[in-house]
Amino acid sequence: MQLETTINGNKIVLDFAGGEFLAETLRRYGYLSVKEGCDTGSCGLCTVWLDGAPVLSCTTLTARMEDHEITTIEALNVEAEEFAQFLVAEGAEQCGFCAPGFTMTVLAMRRELKHPTVESINHYLAGNLCRCSGYKGQMRAIVKYMGVE
Amino acid sequence: MLEIENIIFPANLGEALATVRGIPGSVVLGGCGYLRLGSRKIRTAIDLARLGLDKIVETADTVEIGAMVTLRDVETDALTVGLAGGVLAKSVENIVGVQLRKCVTLGGSVAGRYPFSDPITALMAVDAELLFHGRGVISLQDYLEGKWGRDILVKIIVPKRQWIAAFTSVRKSVTDYAVLNCAVSKSGQDYRVVVGSRPSRALRVTTAENFLRENGLTKKSAVRAGELAAESLQFGDNPRGSGEYRKKICPVLVKRALLEVLDAA
Ligand SMILES: Cc1cc2nc3c(=O)[nH]c(=O)nc-3n(C[C@H](O)[C@H](O)[C@H](O)COP(=O)(O)OP(=O)(O)OC[C@H]3O[C@@H](n4cnc5c(N)ncnc54)[C@H](O)[C@@H]3O)c2cc1C
Ligand code: FES
Ligand code: FES
């Protein structure tokens, strides 16, 4: 099948098998920041934005992407770098496999939560799992990044 | 692993219904969240994504939620947040994360009749009805109890009454499936007490509802209604908890939900 969509601001015609999911398509097209972990909707590693909202690309059908805007972390380098400094400062970065999906959720959260609290941050990030960090360092970094008093 | 050979985007609901009834083994796609957990090969998938079923609409007497509305929209839309104290919105807020909720749909949750479902429990407490394209409107309760032919769920209809409602659940971790869930509501002197994920499907507890109707809602009657729920229902074992454990926590969940309603009344 073929369809036209927008990835990171660029219009592109995608070739894909009928029942393909977006994570697989994006990786085939070279967007290797998009990781596949559980592949069943549980871990958040595959998070990308669809029309500005975070979604799981492992659970999103490519066939539905006609005339939509997909964003991967490749388009958000500057913001991602800024957030990464907060993680590094708290020693919260380990193997980094979860980082692209996690960062996509954090950057979406920063846009969406007008008055962030520790509770609302925890709630927003509940769908991102990390095998290494134990979450504490990440949380210290995020609280500072989000400007929570 | 889920394999889909061929996806059809029907132009209208009539075509979708004709396809689901005409092609044996064809499968309607919601958000694909649950379908994706299984390992199956689908020859023909019917995608409803282009039929405009992703709207939440208010009428004079109802709030109507399109089958393709995502759980994230149920959680955040002003109409569902404002409906019956937000009981439906609250029921979905711990389903994994914001990203999964932005993928999976209320229609898929209801059509799938999952016994662990959180939104089904909440919808039962507000007398939700379902519009199917083929068979028309039926109550959610009838849908859960009956055997129905292949059809397309178009929308979920919640009657607007002066509901005061609450949802409670016990989970081993915040985003896990509920060990037990409960929704209660009060509309005048009319009560609903619903318990789901027992681990079998959600049921209304009429003994508790009648007791509340006769005695009114107080701190004391909330305790007794919870006990009646535990006495009336069957509970079973699954990897998340034993039937015995579920029976023990049932009165607590029902009581907590009723006290929330009492506070809000
Ligand atoms: C990791 C994970 C954890 C979850 N945890 C929870 C939880 O804690 N609580 C909870 O309540 N839910 C949970 N769910 C279920 C989730 O909330 C959805 O209910 C579920 O994925 C079904 O919705 P869907 O849109 O993905 O439907 P799909 O998976 O696409 O479809 C589900 C079924 O409904 C049918 N169907 C879909 N739409 C229609 C329609 N309009 N007409 C007729 N038939 C239709 C499909 O053919 C299929 O049989 C979880 C799901 C996942 C993947
Ligand atoms: S790979 Fe998509 S949620 Fe785990
Ligand atoms: S840092 Fe290794 S999985 Fe998160």
In tens, the pLDDT along B58-90 reads 999 999 999 999 999 999 999 999 999 999 999
Question: Could you tell me the sign of the dihedral formed by the alpha carbons of B11, B17, B20, B22, in that order?
Answer: negative
SS3 B65: strand
Q: What is the DSSP string of B102-145?
A: TTSBHHHHHHTT-TT-HHHHHHHTTT-EEEETTTEEEEHHHHHH
Q: What gap in Å lies between CA A119 and CA B216, rounded to an integer?
A: 35
Taking CB atoms and an 8 Å limit, are A61 and B7 in contact across chains?
Answer: yes
Which atom of ligand 2 is least distant from the CA of A57?
A: 2
- In this predicted model, what pLDDT tens digit does every residue of B202-255 receive, in sequence order? 999 999 999 999 999 999 999 999 999 999 999 999 999 999 999 999 999 999
For chain B, what is the radius of gyration of the CA atoms? 18
Question: Could you tell me the sign of the dihedral formed by the alpha carbons of B86, B93, A83, A46, in that order?
Answer: negative
For chain B, the average pLDDT equals 97
Task: Give residue A26's pLDDT.
Answer: 98
B100 closest CB neighbour out of A39, A59, A63 = A59
Within 10 Å of residue B142's Cβ, how many Cβ atoms?
A: 11
State the CATH class of domain B56-159: alpha beta
**ipTM of the prediction:** 0.96
User: Which residues of chain B have a CB within 8 Å of the CB of A18?
Assistant: 4-7, 45
Cβ distance A6 to A14 under 8 Å? Answer: no
Go through the domains of chain A in sequence order and give each one's CATH number: 2-73 (3.10.20.30), 75-146 (1.10.150.120)
Give percent above pLDDT 70 in chain B: 100
Give the nearest chain B residue to A67 (CA atoms).
B50
- In this predicted model, what pLDDT tens digit does every residue of B119-177 receive, in sequence order? 999 999 999 999 999 999 999 999 999 999 999 999 999 999 999 999 999 999 999 99
How do strand B27-29 and strand B178-187 relate by DSSP bridges? Answer: unpaired
Q: What is the DSSP string of A89-142?
A: HTT--SS-TTHHHHHHHHHHHHHH-SS--HHHHHHHTTT---SSSTTHHHHHHH
User: Which residues of chain B have a CB within 8 Å of the CB of A41?
Assistant: 33, 36-37, 96, 100, 103-104
Q: Which CATH architecture has domain B164-264?
A: 2-Layer Sandwich (3.30)
Hey, where are the domains in chain B?
2-47, 56-159, 164-264
Cβ distance B3 to B127 under 8 Å? Answer: no
Within 10 Å of residue B185's Cβ, how many Cβ atoms?
A: 28
Kindly state the tokens that stand for B249: 């926590």
Report the predicted TM-score, pTM, of the whole model to 2 decimal places. 0.97
Please list the ranges in chain A whose pLDDT falls under 50: none
Q: What gap in Å lies between CA A62 and CA A68, rounded to an integer?
A: 10
Task: Give residue B157's pLDDT.
Answer: 98
CB within 6 Å of ligand 1 — which residues?
A: A 40-42; B 27-35, 37, 48, 67, 71, 95-96, 104-105, 107-109, 111-112, 116-119, 152-153, 177
